[in-house]
Amino acid sequence: MNIKIGDTIKKLRQKKRITQKQLAAYLGVTEQAISRWESGGGSPDIQLLPPLASFFSVSADTLLGIDVSGREQRLADIRRKMDEACELGRDSSEDTVAEAREWAAEFPGEDDIQKNLADEICKFTMWDEKPQIGLLREAERIYCTLIDTNASSEFRGDTIESLTALYCIGFKDTLLADTCANQLSSMKYCRESVKSNIFSAWVQEHPEDEQLLFHSQDYMERLLTSFHSQVYSYVIAHIPNTPDRWDEKIRYFDWLIEAYKMFFGDHMLY
């Protein structure tokens, strides 16, 4: 890095057609210091980076030889691969965990990439009869760090849900899972519930703002999705899959279909 920043300073100085002495005078350092940087014998103090960047009209990243556009493209490629794996329901393996670990090491400051590593670890071993506890502890540390440091309530909520699943399924500790889940707000005070209640009341007095009823529709759709998930889980997990109970299972699914029809009509996309 020392050589790279020295080379950059030299190229920028020569392009600007100024001498080492002139640059030294601007920065308040000796001419020998400039010579030392450019020859790779040292590097400027960190407090000199802003005035250097200002003098040459470049970013600090450029001075340090960081390819910002290349970095952003790399991030975009990684996130695209993460999205594709999620959409395709790709199975996890030692290779996918290793790949996720490489991405996390490459971008330690990107929370979604760090969470992807923890998620990949959990998918790989959490459901095993004898999971790899060391790996699960690594995932736990990542989740806890993200919960403590990320300011986005939605990201934190998603991470808390993942950690709750890890405690319950991976560590088989329902008490700890319950404690973790209690960090989330109740359904009563989620944003969809609050917006639906408040704006519905407003529209009753101000019918010209009927478009605000979208929030009620959004809330009902989310409730229906949650209801669907719970009924499906109940039918699969709690009603024995024997011929004498099949009619009962079908009745539950018929009720779900009727609930969707009540809300969405004949829009078969749903």
Q: List pLDDT tens digits, range 164-202.
A: 999 999 999 999 999 999 999 998 888 899 999 999 999
Res 1: pLDDT: 40
Using 50, 70 and 90 to split pLDDT, how confident is the model at 268?
A: low
Of 29, 25, 22, 26, give the one whose Cα is nearest residue 43.
Answer: 29
Contacts of 238 (CB under 8 A, 6+ apart): none
For the structural domain made of 68-184, what CATH number should be given?
1.25.40.10
Q: From CA 213, how far away is CA 200, in angstroms rounded?
A: 6
Computed from CA positions of residues 118, 123, 127, 132, in that sequence, does the dihedral angle turn out positive or negative? negative
Same-fold call for 2-63 versus 68-184: no
Q: Residue 146 has what pLDDT? A: 95
Please, what CATH class does the domain formed by 2-63 belong to?
A: mainly alpha
51 alpha-carbon distance from chain centroid: 35
Predicted confidence band of residue 219 (pLDDT cuts 50, 70, 90): very high
What is the residue whose two structure tokens read 């996130």? 79
Average pLDDT, integer, range 115-130: 97
d(CA 172, CA 156): 22
Cα dihedral sign, 258-260-264-270: negative
**Torsion on CA atoms 239, 243, 245, 249, rounded to nearest 10:** 70
Count other Cβ atoms within 10 Å, centred on residue 91: 9
Domain ranges in the chain are 2-63, 68-184, 189-264
CA distance 47 to 51: 8
Q: Is the pLDDT of residue 2 over 60?
A: no
Q: What SS3 state is found at 10?
A: helix
81 has a pLDDT exceeding 90: yes
| Residue with tokens 């952003």, as numbered in its chain | 72
Question: What's the whole-model pTM score?
Answer: 0.69
Closest by CA to 115, choosing from 73, 152, 62, is 152
Nearest to 164 by CA among 200, 188, 140, 145: 140
Q: What is the mean pLDDT of residues 136-152?
A: 95
